[in-house]
Amino acid sequence: MQQDILINWSPQETRVAVVEYGAVQELHVERTLERGLVGNVYLGKVARVLPGMQSAFIDIGLDRAAFLHVADLMSSINSRHADTDNATAPAAAPKPIEKQLFEGQSLMVQVLKDPIGTKGARLTAQVSIAGRLLVFLPQDNHIGVSQKIPAAQREELRRRLQALTSDLGGGFILRTNGEDASDAELGEDIAYLRKTWGRIKDAALRLPPTSVLHQDLSLLQRVLRDIVVETTQSIRIDSREQFEELKRFAIEFMPATLQRLQLHSGERPIFDLFNIDEEIAKALGRRVDLKSGGYLIIDQTEALTTVDVNTGGFVGARNFDDTIFKTNLEASQAIARQLRLRNLGGIVIVDFIDMVQAGHRDAVLAEFQKQLARDRIKTNVNGFSPLGLLEMTRKRTRESLAHQLCEPCSACMGKGVVKTARSISYDILREILREARQFNPKEFRIIASPKVIELFLDEESQHLAGLSDFISKPISLQSEAAMAQEQYDIVLL
């Protein structure tokens, strides 16, 4: 798998596209005024303790209080290392949260999940600082190795890490890209992480509650730390200033990425040349067309995402079962890509076209899991339910692309549909009848959208005239182009 990373930078926004096999697989957007909070460390203030939920709300200076569960307090940190291979001992039950926290208490916390929808940020009191090769756990003595590293190498790597850190205090977890690092490279990362922790502790003593003690790296820097892999061929950016800044960061922390950095010097933004904006537009739509003629319908709600697979105009196979099978196979590849491209997280329900043969279902499931294996975000596929629906989850740590770039429609308020002009006209007639029973104006005036007014002048004119005769009041009409179809006013004159 060959990967290219394209970066479009402007003072207000950074956009990153990850291209694999000639197609955009991931899109990352960071706006200067809307930077994500995951990884940030705060000096929080306990706003409220909820014994019944074994949780607390923590004020970290945001619009909504953040959420801290008892499992994320330091007393239960042994349960937080499930991603490393020596976390086999069961964790002791934590002390009740009301015996650990009280209102008004200052507490150092770190953001695990950004605020999403109506939910506040999710916090942990177990601070971890990510470096290029290691994760530093300053409040713990745990030494671990990522499970993504082959099991045969983990014990040796753990012994090396233990020898390098035995006299330093704190815990460390070796990240996947630290598998082949030298002792010198690991030592540099350890020094950087301990220096960062020293700055955080110093800030905690100087700054008042709700202050930011540490911010995670910018999207530009996280590209080098988190997105670049061994198969990355190039990292192209279209800003000379940011190119130089990224070079300095690479020289200090990630020298292996330096030779892949390239400055795109053309006049047109790099996203224009590679049609990335067109891909973004497609990723915001409900319908995704497949090459075979089939298509997907993707609907995102606050609780889950549903994907419906349809054959559409595909009739290329020899019989109907083969047509369904080939459509589902192609759909499994497209869905895995769309999950990454749109950054869809949480529960995902996929309604593949019903397959009669168990072999076809198994093949589609295997292909889907194969495609998901390329995803950097953790996924868990539960297989087909008794109703034939495929159920899965994808870890969610930030807003989806649609939630980042879009807002609910002001006309339909997020419903996705609006009442027909005829339905609105009947609402208006009923409203006038109610008003006429309570008030005695000289005239009623309807102010509505042009389409509703046109309906009253044409097809609904008889009903309007009949109501006017019934209430013995004249009813006049006024078209307002600025009004949405569901908006109207009834003025009593």
pLDDT at 15: 93
CATH entry 1.10.3470 includes domain 286-405: no
Helices 461-471 and 421-438, axial angle in degrees (round to 10): 10
Nearest to 396 by CA among 433, 432, 348, 353: 348
Report CA Rg, the chain.
29
Domain spans of the chain? 3-34+219-277, 41-214, 286-405, 421-492
Nearest to 140 by CA among 91, 103, 207: 91
pLDDT at 314: 60
C-alpha angle with apex 202: 125 to 128, nearest 5 degrees? 30
* Structure tokens belonging to residue 386: 């008794």
Q: Dmax of the chain from CA atoms?
A: 95
Sorted by sequence, the CB contacts under 8 Å of residue 246 that are 6+ apart come out as 220, 221, 224, 235, 237, 261
H-type alpha helices, 71-111: none
- CA 139 to chain centroid, in Å, comes to 29
| Residues composing the chain | 493
pLDDT at 79: 38
CATH C-level class of 3-34+219-277: alpha beta
344, amino acid identity:
L
CB 428 within 8 A of CB 475: no
* Structure tokens belonging to residue 315: 């009739």
pLDDT at 33: 77
Q: How many CB atoms sit inside 10 A of residue 492's CB?
A: 15
Strand partners, 55: 50, 69
pLDDT at 481: 92
Distance CA 396, CA 347 (A): 9
Which of the 8 DSSP states describes residue 373? T
152 sits in which H/E element: helix 151-165
397 phi and psi, to 5 degrees? -120, -10
421-492: CATH architecture = 3-Layer(aba) Sandwich (3.40)
At residue 296, the 3 state secondary structure works out as strand
Distance CA 273, CA 276 (A): 8
346 phi and psi, to 5 degrees? 85, -150
Distance CA 354, CA 142 (A): 48
CA dist 347 → 201, 306, 365, 381 (Å): 38, 9, 17, 10
At residue 247, the 3 state secondary structure works out as helix
CB 384 within 8 A of CB 355: no
Distance CA 378, CA 281 (A): 26
* Structure tokens belonging to residue 439: 């008030």
Give the model confidence (pLDDT) of 327-338 as tens digits: 999 999 999 999
Residues of the chain with pLDDT under 70: 1, 74-93, 313-318, 397
CATH entry 3.40.190.10 includes domain 41-214: no
pLDDT at 181: 82
List, as one string, the DSSP characters of 390-448.
Answer: EEEEE---S--HHHHH----TTTTTSS----HHHHHHHHHHHHHHHHHH---S-EEEEE
Give the model confidence (pLDDT) of 1-28 as tens digits: 689 999 999 889 999 999 988 889 999 9
Total H helices, total E strands in the chain: 12, 24
Reduced DSSP (H G I as helix, E B as strand, rest coil) percent helix, strand, coil of the chain, to 5: 35, 25, 35
Pairing of strands 232-237, 3-10: parallel
CB 58 within 8 A of CB 46: yes
Sorted by sequence, the CB contacts under 8 Å of residue 4 that are 6+ apart come out as 18, 19, 20, 232, 233, 234, 235, 236
Nearest to 309 by CA among 250, 351, 261, 272: 351
